[in-house]
Chains A and B, each alone.
Chain A
């Protein structure tokens, strides 16, 4: 059975060699996207510009979640920063294909491949 907590979003954070990795677990939807947006944008404003989003444990994303990624990608575009994604489940990947977001968000199979993309 799913508990209340499984309907939320947990975000882990790890920084190594100038690359910051956010690991998302749970659901990125209109309930959880505001908190994540605040966190992601404030890290960009704080100077982070090599950002990996690890979606291995992301179970769900809606257009509210895509909106956050779009904002972050725009913020980074002015500088030489980059936002990349890894470990998407097949059905999550489909959302990126259908939305056309694959054209400006690089997607890799593994976290290691992401990190070496910088």
Chain B
């Protein structure tokens, strides 16, 4: 990674962007995370996990959480002393992922369900998760030790 290494500036340590409620925006998500990872030399596995968790949350919103097709999914990334902080705000239906039940993952493929797996990944891959609902928005704060 990073043949053309630059001197890091504090600007590199944060990234904010917004996604429209359209699955095609997953590309924008992946590109932004990749760029942030390169600038901050975040290991590939950790970066994959961040991308996966945000993808699952975003895909949930687009698939189930919209009142209309005009929603936004606002993401802020910040890295500080080896800890990555992620904040996600969306104006979709109120949804507290911490209240979703754990999926049954031990059963045979005939009984397996996919629902809930994305939230399961979030619980396993993030070190801290905080949810709040205010001003008509879902707000999720994730912490990941890099």
Of the candidates A62, A70, A77, A104, the one whose C-beta lies within 8 Å of that of B56 is: A62
Contact B59 A64 (CB under 8 A): yes
How far in angstroms is the closest Cβ of chain B from A55?
Answer: 13
Contact A104 B26 (CB under 8 A): no
The number of chain A residues touching the other chain, given as a range, is 20 to 34
Instruction: State whether the Cβ of A103 lies closer than 8 Å to any Cβ in chain B.
Output: yes
Contact A98 B124 (CB under 8 A): yes
Of the candidates A2, A29, A98, A103, the one whose C-beta lies within 8 Å of that of B108 is: A103
Please judge, given known A-B contacts A2-B34, A70-B114, whether A31 and B108 are in contact too, CB under 8 Å.
no
Please judge, given known A-B contacts A70-B112, A74-B109, A95-B52, whether A31 and B117 are in contact too, CB under 8 Å.
no
How far in angstroms is the closest Cβ of chain A from B131?
Answer: 20
Please judge, given known A-B contacts A30-B23, A103-B106, whether A60 and B51 are in contact too, CB under 8 Å.
yes
1/0 per residue A52-71: CB within 8 Å of B? 00000000101110110010
**CB nearest neighbor in A for B60:** A63
Contact B49 A31 (CB under 8 A): no
A101 to B30, CA, bound (A): 24
1/0 per residue B107-136: CB within 8 Å of A? 111101010011011001100000000000
What residues on A are CB-neighbors of B117 within 8 Å? 63, 66, 99
Instruction: State whether the Cβ of B93 lies closer than 8 Å to any Cβ in chain A.
Output: no
A103 to B108, CA, bound (A): 7
A51 to B24, CA, bound (A): 29
Contact A100 B105 (CB under 8 A): yes
Q: Which 9 A-B pairs have CB atoms at the shortest separation, nearest pair first? A: A100-B105, A104-B109, A63-B117, A91-B45, A7-B27, A67-B114, A91-B48, A73-B109, A30-B59
Which of B's residues lie within 8 Å of A, judged by CB?
Answer: 23-24, 26-27, 30-31, 34, 44-45, 48-49, 51-52, 55-56, 59, 105-110, 112, 114, 117-118, 120-121, 124-125
Q: List 12 A-B contacts (CB under 8 A).
A: A2-B30, A2-B34, A7-B26, A7-B30, A30-B23, A60-B30, A62-B118, A63-B56, A77-B109, A91-B44, A95-B52, A99-B105
